[in-house]
Chains A and B, each alone.
Chain A
Amino acid sequence: KQEVTQIPAALSVPEGENLVLNCSFTDSAIYNLQWFRQDPGKGLTSLLLIQSSQREQTSGRLNASLDKSSGRSTLYIAASQPGDSATYLCAVIPLYNQGGKLIFGQGTELSVKP
């Protein structure tokens, strides 16, 4: 059974710091991994999608890497800003899955202090 874990559960950093969020999954047989952002009381905003054949994806100040063999992904945020404060979720779609069942981690709640 696929399980996704995100550590730490919460993180507080000063503005301008570079930071790394971690995501681990127990079964390397995945279609892809997706990182999301969720603001309080809101829906999920897709940040980056990494296909199983890819090693990383970049969008602006965000860079996500994927190491399937070790079951790990990291989301790197450069030069953090107070507007980056949100909960960050990673999710995988298992390879054996029919019909897009995302398996989510519990999320990392990020607070960037001015």
Chain B
Amino acid sequence: KAGVTQTPRYLIKTRGQQVTLSCSPISGHRSVSWYQQTPGQGLQFLFEYFSETQRNKGNFPGRFSGRQFSNSRSEMNVSTLELGDSALYLCASSLVTPNTGELFFGEGSRLTVL
């Protein structure tokens, strides 16, 4: 059974550009969550999607957005990139609801903003 797949694994962008990251959850999982990990702030919640609906959102500016497709695959987008957006972006999937179920994480997408 394939795990959570994130693409691309590494990418380099310059300030002002935008980026789209993709996450394919474990087959059958309907919930997808996104997290940002930086050395200073640790792991911070971005948003969670379930059945194509955003159910929860963290304290990030509107430049950070996401969506989920009917096959549960999810994308997140960051517009007008800033140096501080450099981070490891992690996606997690859960069978039904992450409130009671186990979360499984992907390997992450390492974004560097120059």
List the count of A-B residue pairs having beta carbons below 8 Å apart. 72
Question: Which residues 32-73 in A have Cβ within 8 Å of B in the complex?
Answer: 32, 34, 36, 41-46, 49, 51
Which chain A positions have C-beta within 8 A of B105?
A: 36, 43-46
Asked whether, in the complex, the Cβ of B106 is within 8 Å of the Cβ of A43, the reply is yes
- Which of A19-27, A78-86, A91-99 is the interface stretch? A91-99
Which chain A positions have C-beta within 8 A of B31?
A: 100
Which chain A positions have C-beta within 8 A of B100?
A: 31-32, 51
Asked whether, in the complex, the Cβ of B90 is within 8 Å of the Cβ of A44, the reply is yes
Question: Which residues 26-81 in B have Cβ within 8 Å of A in the complex?
Answer: 31, 33, 35, 42-43, 45, 48, 50, 54-56, 58
State the majority secondary structure of interface residues on B. Answer: strand
Which of under 10, 10 to 19, 20 to 34, or 35 or more describes the interface residues of B? 20 to 34
Asked whether, in the complex, the Cβ of A101 is within 8 Å of the Cβ of B58, the reply is yes
The answer, among A34, A51, A98, for a CB contact under 8 Å with B56, is A98
B7 at the interface (CB under 8 A from A): no
Q: Which B residue sits closest to A106, measured CB to CB?
A: B42
The tally of residues in A whose CB lies under 8 Å from a CB in B reads 26
Take A42-B107, A42-B108, A44-B90 as given contacts and tell me if A49 and B56 are in contact as well, using a CB distance cutoff of 8 Å.
Answer: no
Take A36-B105, A101-B56 as given contacts and tell me if A41 and B110 are in contact as well, using a CB distance cutoff of 8 Å.
Answer: yes
Can you list 6 contacts pairing A with B, beta carbon distance less than 8 Å? A43-B107, A51-B100, A102-B33, A102-B98, A104-B43, A107-B42
